[in-house]
A and B are shown apart, each in its own frame.
Chain A
Amino acid sequence: MPPKITIAVEKPNVPSGMVLAEDAASLSSGLHDSLARLIQRQLGFPWRAKLKDQAKRLTRVALTGISEGSGILQFESLPTADAAGRSPASIAAFDLVAGIRAFKDSHQWPPYLPAIVRNRMGAAVAPIFNEPKATVSIAVEGDGFKEQCEISAPIKEALQTPEQFSPEETIEVVGTVFDLNIRNHSFKVDTGSRNVTLEVSETQFQSLDTDSMRWARVFVTGLPKDGQSRTVHGVKELRLANAGEEDGLNVPSELRRGERSQAYQEVLKRSHDLLQLPGGWDSYGAESPGRRGMVFATNFLRDVIGVLVDHKIDVPTPFLVPTATGGVQFEWKIGSRELELEIPEKGRFEYLAVDGSRETEGEASRWTAVRLVRWVITGEEV
Protein backbone atom coordinates (compact mmCIF):
# COMPACT_ATOMS: atom_id res chain seq x y z
CA MET A 1 0.00 0.00 0.00
CA PRO A 2 1.51 3.38 -0.94
CA PRO A 3 1.69 5.90 1.91
CA LYS A 4 -1.43 8.03 2.15
CA ILE A 5 -1.81 11.64 3.20
CA THR A 6 -5.33 12.66 4.11
CA ILE A 7 -6.48 16.23 4.63
CA ALA A 8 -9.92 16.45 6.17
CA VAL A 9 -11.65 19.81 5.95
CA GLU A 10 -14.61 20.72 8.11
CA LYS A 11 -16.08 23.95 6.85
CA PRO A 12 -19.52 25.30 7.67
CA ASN A 13 -21.83 25.89 4.71
CA VAL A 14 -20.06 23.40 2.45
CA PRO A 15 -22.14 20.27 1.77
CA SER A 16 -20.85 17.01 3.21
CA GLY A 17 -18.56 15.14 0.87
CA MET A 18 -17.39 18.24 -0.95
CA VAL A 19 -14.36 20.48 -0.81
CA LEU A 20 -14.45 23.86 -2.49
CA ALA A 21 -12.23 23.86 -5.57
CA GLU A 22 -10.34 26.93 -4.34
CA ASP A 23 -9.64 25.23 -1.00
CA ALA A 24 -8.59 22.00 -2.70
CA ALA A 25 -6.24 23.88 -5.02
CA SER A 26 -4.69 25.86 -2.17
CA LEU A 27 -4.26 22.77 0.01
CA SER A 28 -2.82 20.68 -2.82
CA SER A 29 -0.23 23.21 -3.90
CA GLY A 30 0.57 24.16 -0.29
CA LEU A 31 1.09 20.55 0.69
CA HIS A 32 3.29 19.93 -2.34
CA ASP A 33 5.43 23.02 -1.74
CA SER A 34 5.77 22.29 1.98
CA LEU A 35 6.87 18.71 1.32
CA ALA A 36 9.32 19.82 -1.38
CA ARG A 37 10.88 22.34 1.03
CA LEU A 38 11.14 19.70 3.73
CA ILE A 39 12.76 17.30 1.28
CA GLN A 40 15.25 20.01 0.30
CA ARG A 41 16.02 20.43 3.97
CA GLN A 42 16.40 16.68 4.51
CA LEU A 43 18.85 16.60 1.62
CA GLY A 44 20.97 18.93 3.71
CA PHE A 45 20.57 21.90 1.36
CA PRO A 46 19.79 25.44 2.55
CA TRP A 47 16.03 25.56 2.86
CA ARG A 48 15.64 29.28 2.16
CA ALA A 49 17.42 28.93 -1.17
CA LYS A 50 15.60 28.43 -4.43
CA LEU A 51 13.90 25.05 -4.55
CA LYS A 52 16.25 22.58 -6.21
CA ASP A 53 15.19 20.33 -9.07
CA GLN A 54 16.45 17.40 -7.02
CA ALA A 55 13.93 18.21 -4.28
CA LYS A 56 11.14 18.76 -6.81
CA ARG A 57 11.81 15.39 -8.45
CA LEU A 58 11.57 13.65 -5.10
CA THR A 59 8.22 15.26 -4.27
CA ARG A 60 5.89 12.85 -6.03
CA VAL A 61 2.41 13.20 -4.57
CA ALA A 62 -0.84 12.53 -6.38
CA LEU A 63 -4.31 13.69 -5.46
CA THR A 64 -6.20 10.42 -5.69
CA GLY A 65 -9.67 11.41 -4.61
CA ILE A 66 -12.14 13.19 -2.46
CA SER A 67 -13.76 10.60 -0.23
CA GLU A 68 -17.47 10.43 0.33
CA GLY A 69 -19.11 11.40 3.58
CA SER A 70 -17.04 14.44 4.48
CA GLY A 71 -14.61 16.89 2.92
CA ILE A 72 -11.56 14.71 2.71
CA LEU A 73 -8.75 15.07 0.20
CA GLN A 74 -6.71 11.94 -0.28
CA PHE A 75 -3.17 12.00 -1.57
CA GLU A 76 -0.77 9.18 -2.31
CA SER A 77 2.96 9.37 -2.21
CA LEU A 78 4.41 7.89 -5.39
CA PRO A 79 7.74 6.08 -5.71
CA THR A 80 10.64 7.94 -7.30
CA ALA A 81 13.70 6.63 -9.10
CA ASP A 82 16.06 8.73 -6.96
CA ALA A 83 15.05 7.24 -3.63
CA ALA A 84 15.36 3.69 -2.35
CA GLY A 85 13.07 2.61 0.47
CA ARG A 86 10.42 4.88 1.98
CA SER A 87 9.18 7.66 -0.26
CA PRO A 88 10.65 11.10 0.46
CA ALA A 89 7.22 12.74 0.33
CA SER A 90 5.94 10.31 2.94
CA ILE A 91 8.90 11.01 5.25
CA ALA A 92 8.46 14.77 4.75
CA ALA A 93 4.72 14.48 5.45
CA PHE A 94 5.46 12.73 8.75
CA ASP A 95 7.80 15.59 9.70
CA LEU A 96 5.18 18.16 8.73
CA VAL A 97 2.41 16.53 10.75
CA ALA A 98 4.65 15.64 13.71
CA GLY A 99 5.99 19.21 13.77
CA ILE A 100 2.54 20.77 13.86
CA ARG A 101 1.44 18.34 16.57
CA ALA A 102 4.60 19.10 18.59
CA PHE A 103 3.81 22.82 18.39
CA LYS A 104 0.29 22.20 19.65
CA ASP A 105 1.73 20.40 22.70
CA SER A 106 4.70 22.66 23.48
CA HIS A 107 4.00 25.99 21.71
CA GLN A 108 7.46 25.77 20.21
CA TRP A 109 8.29 24.89 16.64
CA PRO A 110 10.72 22.00 16.37
CA PRO A 111 13.90 22.84 14.43
CA TYR A 112 13.07 20.31 11.72
CA LEU A 113 10.07 22.41 10.63
CA PRO A 114 11.57 25.69 9.39
CA ALA A 115 9.59 28.89 8.92
CA ILE A 116 9.62 28.66 5.13
CA VAL A 117 7.64 25.41 5.38
CA ARG A 118 5.34 26.63 8.15
CA ASN A 119 4.53 29.84 6.28
CA ARG A 120 3.75 27.95 3.10
CA MET A 121 1.41 25.57 4.93
CA GLY A 122 -0.14 28.50 6.77
CA ALA A 123 -0.87 30.22 3.46
CA ALA A 124 -2.36 26.99 2.10
CA VAL A 125 -4.85 26.57 4.94
CA ALA A 126 -5.63 30.28 5.25
CA PRO A 127 -8.52 30.29 2.72
CA ILE A 128 -10.28 27.54 4.72
CA PHE A 129 -10.37 29.84 7.73
CA ASN A 130 -12.43 32.51 6.05
CA GLU A 131 -14.99 30.49 8.00
CA PRO A 132 -13.65 30.93 11.56
CA LYS A 133 -15.18 27.68 12.78
CA ALA A 134 -13.44 25.60 10.13
CA THR A 135 -10.91 22.92 11.05
CA VAL A 136 -8.33 21.05 9.04
CA SER A 137 -6.78 17.78 10.09
CA ILE A 138 -3.89 16.05 8.35
CA ALA A 139 -3.14 12.35 8.72
CA VAL A 140 -0.25 10.37 7.26
CA GLU A 141 -0.26 6.61 7.19
CA GLY A 142 2.07 4.11 5.62
CA ASP A 143 5.37 2.24 6.01
CA GLY A 144 4.08 1.04 9.38
CA PHE A 145 3.75 4.60 10.71
CA LYS A 146 0.76 6.75 11.52
CA GLU A 147 0.69 10.42 12.51
CA GLN A 148 -2.06 13.02 12.74
CA CYS A 149 -2.47 16.69 13.57
CA GLU A 150 -5.24 19.25 13.68
CA ILE A 151 -5.02 22.82 12.50
CA SER A 152 -7.33 25.26 14.21
CA ALA A 153 -7.44 29.03 13.69
CA PRO A 154 -4.72 29.74 16.34
CA ILE A 155 -2.43 27.10 14.82
CA LYS A 156 -3.02 28.63 11.39
CA GLU A 157 -1.95 32.00 12.82
CA ALA A 158 1.20 30.43 14.26
CA LEU A 159 1.98 28.76 10.95
CA GLN A 160 1.69 32.11 9.19
CA THR A 161 3.92 33.99 11.63
CA PRO A 162 6.90 35.23 9.59
CA GLU A 163 10.41 34.20 10.48
CA GLN A 164 12.12 36.58 12.89
CA PHE A 165 15.79 37.35 12.37
CA SER A 166 18.02 38.58 15.15
CA PRO A 167 19.38 42.08 14.45
CA GLU A 168 22.72 40.98 15.88
CA GLU A 169 23.20 37.80 13.89
CA THR A 170 24.98 38.05 10.54
CA ILE A 171 23.11 36.80 7.50
CA GLU A 172 24.30 35.92 4.02
CA VAL A 173 22.45 37.12 0.95
CA VAL A 174 23.20 35.60 -2.44
CA GLY A 175 21.40 36.66 -5.58
CA THR A 176 21.27 39.01 -8.53
CA VAL A 177 21.70 42.76 -8.12
CA PHE A 178 19.02 45.12 -9.40
CA ASP A 179 17.52 48.51 -8.66
CA LEU A 180 20.67 50.44 -7.70
CA ASN A 181 19.89 53.67 -5.88
CA ILE A 182 22.78 56.10 -6.02
CA ARG A 183 21.08 58.64 -3.73
CA ASN A 184 20.95 56.47 -0.63
CA HIS A 185 23.60 53.94 -1.63
CA SER A 186 21.28 50.97 -1.67
CA PHE A 187 20.45 48.20 -4.07
CA LYS A 188 18.25 45.15 -4.17
CA VAL A 189 19.16 41.51 -4.51
CA ASP A 190 16.82 38.92 -5.99
CA THR A 191 17.52 35.77 -3.96
CA GLY A 192 15.13 33.59 -5.93
CA SER A 193 12.52 33.39 -3.23
CA ARG A 194 12.44 37.06 -2.11
CA ASN A 195 14.03 40.44 -2.72
CA VAL A 196 16.30 41.99 -0.09
CA THR A 197 17.36 45.64 0.08
CA LEU A 198 21.02 46.22 0.92
CA GLU A 199 22.21 49.48 2.44
CA VAL A 200 25.93 49.97 1.95
CA SER A 201 28.59 52.64 2.41
CA GLU A 202 29.54 55.00 -0.39
CA THR A 203 32.76 53.07 -1.00
CA GLN A 204 30.91 49.77 -1.13
CA PHE A 205 28.35 51.26 -3.49
CA GLN A 206 31.12 52.48 -5.80
CA SER A 207 32.65 49.01 -5.85
CA LEU A 208 29.26 47.61 -6.84
CA ASP A 209 28.52 50.22 -9.47
CA THR A 210 30.97 48.77 -11.97
CA ASP A 211 30.47 46.83 -15.18
CA SER A 212 31.51 43.55 -13.56
CA MET A 213 29.15 43.76 -10.58
CA ARG A 214 26.25 46.00 -11.52
CA TRP A 215 23.77 43.26 -12.53
CA ALA A 216 25.80 40.29 -11.37
CA ARG A 217 25.22 37.59 -8.79
CA VAL A 218 26.70 38.78 -5.53
CA PHE A 219 27.46 37.42 -2.09
CA VAL A 220 26.79 39.85 0.74
CA THR A 221 27.01 39.51 4.52
CA GLY A 222 25.41 41.98 6.87
CA LEU A 223 22.95 42.49 9.69
CA PRO A 224 19.15 42.45 9.38
CA LYS A 225 17.72 45.93 9.83
CA ASP A 226 14.27 44.54 10.57
CA GLY A 227 12.97 41.27 11.99
CA GLN A 228 12.15 39.88 8.59
CA SER A 229 15.41 40.86 6.90
CA ARG A 230 13.70 42.93 4.24
CA THR A 231 16.61 45.33 4.58
CA VAL A 232 20.19 44.46 5.47
CA HIS A 233 22.74 47.00 6.66
CA GLY A 234 26.17 46.91 8.30
CA VAL A 235 27.48 45.10 5.24
CA LYS A 236 30.82 43.44 5.94
CA GLU A 237 31.43 41.49 2.76
CA LEU A 238 30.36 42.35 -0.76
CA ARG A 239 31.75 40.40 -3.69
CA LEU A 240 30.80 38.37 -6.76
CA ALA A 241 29.16 35.07 -5.81
CA ASN A 242 30.99 31.82 -6.54
CA ALA A 243 29.38 29.18 -8.71
CA GLY A 244 28.97 26.98 -5.62
CA GLU A 245 27.07 29.64 -3.66
CA GLU A 246 23.39 29.28 -4.31
CA ASP A 247 20.88 32.09 -4.42
CA GLY A 248 19.10 32.54 -1.12
CA LEU A 249 19.23 34.07 2.31
CA ASN A 250 20.99 32.14 5.05
CA VAL A 251 22.02 32.44 8.65
CA PRO A 252 25.57 31.04 8.55
CA SER A 253 25.49 29.68 12.10
CA GLU A 254 22.34 27.75 11.23
CA LEU A 255 23.44 26.63 7.78
CA ARG A 256 26.71 25.29 9.14
CA ARG A 257 25.40 24.00 12.45
CA GLY A 258 26.97 20.62 11.71
CA GLU A 259 30.40 22.27 11.90
CA ARG A 260 30.16 22.45 15.67
CA SER A 261 29.95 18.69 16.04
CA GLN A 262 32.86 16.58 17.20
CA ALA A 263 32.29 14.17 14.29
CA TYR A 264 32.72 16.92 11.69
CA GLN A 265 35.74 18.46 13.40
CA GLU A 266 37.52 15.11 13.67
CA VAL A 267 36.76 14.19 10.07
CA LEU A 268 37.85 17.62 8.84
CA LYS A 269 41.18 17.29 10.64
CA ARG A 270 41.75 13.83 9.15
CA SER A 271 40.75 15.04 5.69
CA HIS A 272 43.53 17.64 5.83
CA ASP A 273 46.02 14.88 6.65
CA LEU A 274 44.71 12.62 3.88
CA LEU A 275 45.02 15.38 1.29
CA GLN A 276 48.79 15.30 1.90
CA LEU A 277 49.06 11.70 0.65
CA PRO A 278 51.23 11.54 -2.47
CA GLY A 279 50.42 9.48 -5.56
CA GLY A 280 51.14 5.79 -4.94
CA TRP A 281 50.74 6.35 -1.20
CA ASP A 282 49.61 2.77 -0.47
CA SER A 283 52.72 1.34 -2.22
CA TYR A 284 50.43 -0.21 -4.85
CA GLY A 285 49.83 2.84 -7.07
CA ALA A 286 46.84 4.41 -5.33
CA GLU A 287 45.83 7.87 -6.52
CA SER A 288 46.00 10.82 -4.12
CA PRO A 289 42.57 11.76 -2.73
CA GLY A 290 41.00 14.42 -4.95
CA ARG A 291 40.48 17.78 -3.28
CA ARG A 292 37.06 18.42 -4.88
CA GLY A 293 35.77 15.04 -3.78
CA MET A 294 37.18 15.49 -0.29
CA VAL A 295 35.59 18.93 0.15
CA PHE A 296 32.29 17.56 -1.16
CA ALA A 297 32.51 14.62 1.27
CA THR A 298 33.23 16.75 4.34
CA ASN A 299 30.52 19.25 3.37
CA PHE A 300 28.08 16.38 2.87
CA LEU A 301 28.90 15.07 6.35
CA ARG A 302 28.46 18.56 7.82
CA ASP A 303 25.08 18.93 6.15
CA VAL A 304 23.87 15.48 7.21
CA ILE A 305 24.93 16.19 10.79
CA GLY A 306 22.91 19.42 10.62
CA VAL A 307 19.81 17.57 9.46
CA LEU A 308 20.15 14.89 12.12
CA VAL A 309 20.94 17.34 14.92
CA ASP A 310 17.54 18.94 14.26
CA HIS A 311 16.03 15.55 15.05
CA LYS A 312 18.22 15.27 18.18
CA ILE A 313 20.30 12.51 16.61
CA ASP A 314 24.02 12.62 17.43
CA VAL A 315 26.29 11.47 14.64
CA PRO A 316 29.25 9.38 15.79
CA THR A 317 32.56 10.13 14.09
CA PRO A 318 32.90 7.93 11.01
CA PHE A 319 36.19 6.40 9.94
CA LEU A 320 37.36 8.36 6.90
CA VAL A 321 39.56 6.43 4.52
CA PRO A 322 40.89 7.24 1.06
CA THR A 323 40.21 4.81 -1.77
CA ALA A 324 42.79 3.65 -4.29
CA THR A 325 40.99 5.50 -7.10
CA GLY A 326 41.23 8.95 -5.49
CA GLY A 327 37.89 8.97 -3.67
CA VAL A 328 37.08 8.74 0.02
CA GLN A 329 34.89 6.50 2.11
CA PHE A 330 33.04 6.98 5.39
CA GLU A 331 32.62 3.91 7.56
CA TRP A 332 30.33 3.47 10.56
CA LYS A 333 29.73 0.38 12.69
CA ILE A 334 26.96 0.71 15.22
CA GLY A 335 25.70 -2.46 16.87
CA SER A 336 24.95 -4.97 14.15
CA ARG A 337 24.71 -2.25 11.50
CA GLU A 338 27.59 -1.22 9.26
CA LEU A 339 27.70 1.37 6.52
CA GLU A 340 30.43 2.04 4.00
CA LEU A 341 29.57 5.20 2.10
CA GLU A 342 32.04 5.93 -0.65
CA ILE A 343 32.32 9.19 -2.53
CA PRO A 344 34.31 8.23 -5.63
CA GLU A 345 34.09 11.81 -6.88
CA LYS A 346 32.11 14.98 -6.22
CA GLY A 347 28.37 14.27 -6.31
CA ARG A 348 28.54 10.45 -6.48
CA PHE A 349 27.79 7.93 -3.73
CA GLU A 350 28.29 4.18 -3.54
CA TYR A 351 27.42 2.18 -0.47
CA LEU A 352 27.45 -1.12 1.34
CA ALA A 353 24.95 -1.54 4.16
CA VAL A 354 25.23 -4.57 6.41
CA ASP A 355 22.79 -5.55 9.12
CA GLY A 356 23.78 -8.85 10.66
CA SER A 357 23.76 -11.27 7.74
CA ARG A 358 21.85 -8.92 5.39
CA GLU A 359 23.88 -6.93 2.86
CA THR A 360 22.87 -4.41 0.22
CA GLU A 361 25.15 -2.39 -1.99
CA GLY A 362 25.05 -0.15 -5.02
CA GLU A 363 24.97 3.46 -6.13
CA ALA A 364 23.00 5.93 -4.05
CA SER A 365 21.42 9.29 -4.67
CA ARG A 366 22.11 12.07 -2.18
CA TRP A 367 18.70 11.39 -0.63
CA THR A 368 19.46 7.70 -0.12
CA ALA A 369 22.93 8.53 1.20
CA VAL A 370 21.42 10.81 3.86
CA ARG A 371 18.84 8.16 4.76
CA LEU A 372 21.57 5.50 5.01
CA VAL A 373 23.52 7.59 7.52
CA ARG A 374 20.34 7.98 9.54
CA TRP A 375 19.71 4.24 9.27
CA VAL A 376 23.15 3.21 10.51
CA ILE A 377 22.87 5.51 13.53
CA THR A 378 19.25 4.89 14.54
CA GLY A 379 18.19 1.70 12.78
CA GLU A 380 15.29 3.65 11.27
CA GLU A 381 14.19 2.20 7.96
CA VAL A 382 15.72 3.84 4.88
Chain B
Amino acid sequence: MTEIPDLVADDEPLHRRIHPTFKKDDGTVSSAAFTDPEMSVDRGSYCDLEQTLLGSSGYGVAVLLTATARGYGQEVVSDPVLLNPAHALVRGEKPKSIARKLARASMWIVQIGDSIP
Protein backbone atom coordinates (compact mmCIF):
# COMPACT_ATOMS: atom_id res chain seq x y z
CA MET B 1 0.00 0.00 0.00
CA THR B 2 1.38 3.43 -0.96
CA GLU B 3 2.36 5.54 2.00
CA ILE B 4 0.58 8.89 1.95
CA PRO B 5 2.81 11.86 2.74
CA ASP B 6 1.56 14.37 5.29
CA LEU B 7 2.35 17.29 3.09
CA VAL B 8 0.01 17.86 0.17
CA ALA B 9 2.14 18.68 -2.86
CA ASP B 10 1.24 21.57 -5.15
CA ASP B 11 0.78 19.27 -8.13
CA GLU B 12 -1.65 16.92 -6.39
CA PRO B 13 -5.16 16.73 -7.84
CA LEU B 14 -7.96 17.19 -5.31
CA HIS B 15 -11.25 15.37 -5.95
CA ARG B 16 -14.60 16.62 -4.72
CA ARG B 17 -17.94 14.90 -5.12
CA ILE B 18 -20.51 17.06 -6.88
CA HIS B 19 -24.23 16.54 -6.29
CA PRO B 20 -26.27 16.75 -9.53
CA THR B 21 -28.07 19.82 -8.15
CA PHE B 22 -24.86 21.84 -8.52
CA LYS B 23 -24.54 21.21 -12.27
CA LYS B 24 -25.69 24.17 -14.33
CA ASP B 25 -27.37 23.99 -17.72
CA ASP B 26 -24.12 24.95 -19.46
CA GLY B 27 -22.39 21.99 -17.83
CA THR B 28 -20.33 24.00 -15.36
CA VAL B 29 -20.43 23.64 -11.57
CA SER B 30 -22.07 26.24 -9.35
CA SER B 31 -19.83 28.08 -6.93
CA ALA B 32 -22.26 26.93 -4.23
CA ALA B 33 -20.40 23.59 -4.29
CA PHE B 34 -17.18 25.27 -3.10
CA THR B 35 -18.16 27.43 -0.15
CA ASP B 36 -17.29 25.31 2.89
CA PRO B 37 -14.51 26.95 4.95
CA GLU B 38 -13.31 23.40 5.68
CA MET B 39 -13.96 21.84 2.30
CA SER B 40 -13.50 18.08 2.18
CA VAL B 41 -11.60 16.63 -0.75
CA ASP B 42 -9.83 13.41 -1.60
CA ARG B 43 -6.21 13.45 -2.66
CA GLY B 44 -6.53 12.04 -6.17
CA SER B 45 -3.02 10.62 -6.26
CA TYR B 46 -3.79 8.34 -3.32
CA CYS B 47 -7.49 7.59 -3.65
CA ASP B 48 -9.27 6.10 -6.63
CA LEU B 49 -12.53 7.49 -7.95
CA GLU B 50 -14.51 4.41 -6.86
CA GLN B 51 -13.55 5.23 -3.29
CA THR B 52 -14.55 8.89 -3.70
CA LEU B 53 -17.93 7.92 -5.12
CA LEU B 54 -18.59 5.03 -2.74
CA GLY B 55 -22.20 5.28 -1.61
CA SER B 56 -22.82 8.36 -3.75
CA SER B 57 -24.10 7.03 -7.05
CA GLY B 58 -25.33 9.64 -9.49
CA TYR B 59 -22.79 12.19 -8.27
CA GLY B 60 -19.98 13.60 -10.39
CA VAL B 61 -16.43 14.36 -9.35
CA ALA B 62 -14.62 17.62 -9.98
CA VAL B 63 -10.86 17.90 -9.86
CA LEU B 64 -8.93 20.92 -8.64
CA LEU B 65 -5.18 21.35 -8.47
CA THR B 66 -3.69 21.98 -5.01
CA ALA B 67 -1.57 24.86 -6.32
CA THR B 68 -4.68 26.56 -7.69
CA ALA B 69 -6.46 26.39 -4.34
CA ARG B 70 -3.37 27.73 -2.58
CA GLY B 71 -3.17 30.49 -5.18
CA TYR B 72 -6.59 31.66 -3.98
CA GLY B 73 -5.39 31.92 -0.38
CA GLN B 74 -6.58 28.50 0.74
CA GLU B 75 -4.65 26.16 2.96
CA VAL B 76 -4.62 22.56 1.72
CA VAL B 77 -3.89 20.13 4.52
CA SER B 78 -3.91 16.40 4.90
CA ASP B 79 -6.75 15.21 7.15
CA PRO B 80 -6.76 11.40 7.12
CA VAL B 81 -9.82 9.73 8.63
CA LEU B 82 -10.37 6.11 9.59
CA LEU B 83 -11.88 4.94 6.33
CA ASN B 84 -10.23 7.50 4.11
CA PRO B 85 -6.51 8.08 4.67
CA ALA B 86 -6.40 10.27 1.54
CA HIS B 87 -8.88 12.77 2.95
CA ALA B 88 -7.76 16.43 2.93
CA LEU B 89 -9.22 19.82 3.69
CA VAL B 90 -9.20 22.99 1.62
CA ARG B 91 -9.24 25.34 4.54
CA GLY B 92 -10.02 29.05 4.47
CA GLU B 93 -12.85 31.54 4.20
CA LYS B 94 -14.52 31.31 0.83
CA PRO B 95 -16.37 34.50 0.00
CA LYS B 96 -18.38 34.32 -3.20
CA SER B 97 -15.53 35.57 -5.37
CA ILE B 98 -13.19 32.80 -4.15
CA ALA B 99 -15.88 30.11 -4.39
CA ARG B 100 -16.53 31.20 -7.97
CA LYS B 101 -12.82 31.05 -8.82
CA LEU B 102 -12.54 27.56 -7.33
CA ALA B 103 -15.61 26.46 -9.31
CA ARG B 104 -14.18 27.88 -12.53
CA ALA B 105 -10.79 26.30 -11.91
CA SER B 106 -12.28 22.85 -11.35
CA MET B 107 -12.94 20.35 -14.12
CA TRP B 108 -15.13 17.31 -14.34
CA ILE B 109 -13.25 14.08 -13.98
CA VAL B 110 -16.53 12.15 -13.68
CA GLN B 111 -19.55 13.85 -15.19
CA ILE B 112 -22.89 13.58 -13.40
CA GLY B 113 -24.44 10.25 -14.30
CA ASP B 114 -21.34 8.96 -16.12
CA SER B 115 -19.51 5.83 -15.15
CA ILE B 116 -15.98 6.08 -13.79
CA PRO B 117 -13.40 6.19 -16.62
A contacts, CB < 8 Å to B: 274, 277, 281-284, 319, 321-325, 329, 331, 333, 338, 340, 342, 350-352, 354, 359, 361
Contacts and interface: CB of A to CB of B under 8 A. Distances in A.
A319 B35 contact: no
B3 interface: no
Contacts of A342: 96
Given A319-B30, A331-B30, A354-B100, A284 B36 contact: yes
A322 B21 contact: yes
8 pairs of A and B residues whose beta carbons are closest in the complex: A352-B96, A282-B19, A321-B30, A321-B32, A361-B96, A283-B56, A319-B24, A323-B32
Contact of A277 (B21, B33, B97, B100): B21
B40 A322 contact: no
Contacts of B33: 282
B15 to A, nearest CB: 12
A274 B21 CA distance: 8
Residue of B21, B32, B33, B59 with most partner-chain A CB within 10 A: B32
B43 interface: no
Nearest to A342: B96
B100 A340 contact: yes
B31 to A, nearest CB: 6
Contacts of A350: 96
B106 to A, nearest CB: 15
18 contacts: A274-B21, A281-B21, A283-B17, A283-B19, A283-B55, A283-B56, A283-B59, A319-B25, A321-B21, A321-B22, A323-B32, A323-B35, A329-B32, A350-B96, A352-B95, A361-B95, A361-B96, A361-B97
A340 B95 CA distance: 12
Given A321-B21, A321-B24, A359-B97, 4 more contacts: A282-B21, A284-B40, A324-B36, A333-B26
B100 A352 contact: yes
B20 to A, nearest CB: 10
Contacts of B55: 283
B110 to A, nearest CB: 14
Contacts of A359: 97
A325 B40 CA distance: 15
A169 to B, nearest CB: 37
Contacts of A323: 32, 35
A351 B99 CA distance: 12
- Identify which of B31, B55, B96, B100 gathers the most chain A CB atoms within 10 Å of its CB: B96
A277 to B, nearest CB: 7
A284 to B, nearest CB: 5
A26 B22 CA distance: 55
B87 to A, nearest CB: 11
A321 B36 CA distance: 15
Given A352-B100, A359-B97, A361-B97, A340 B21 contact: no
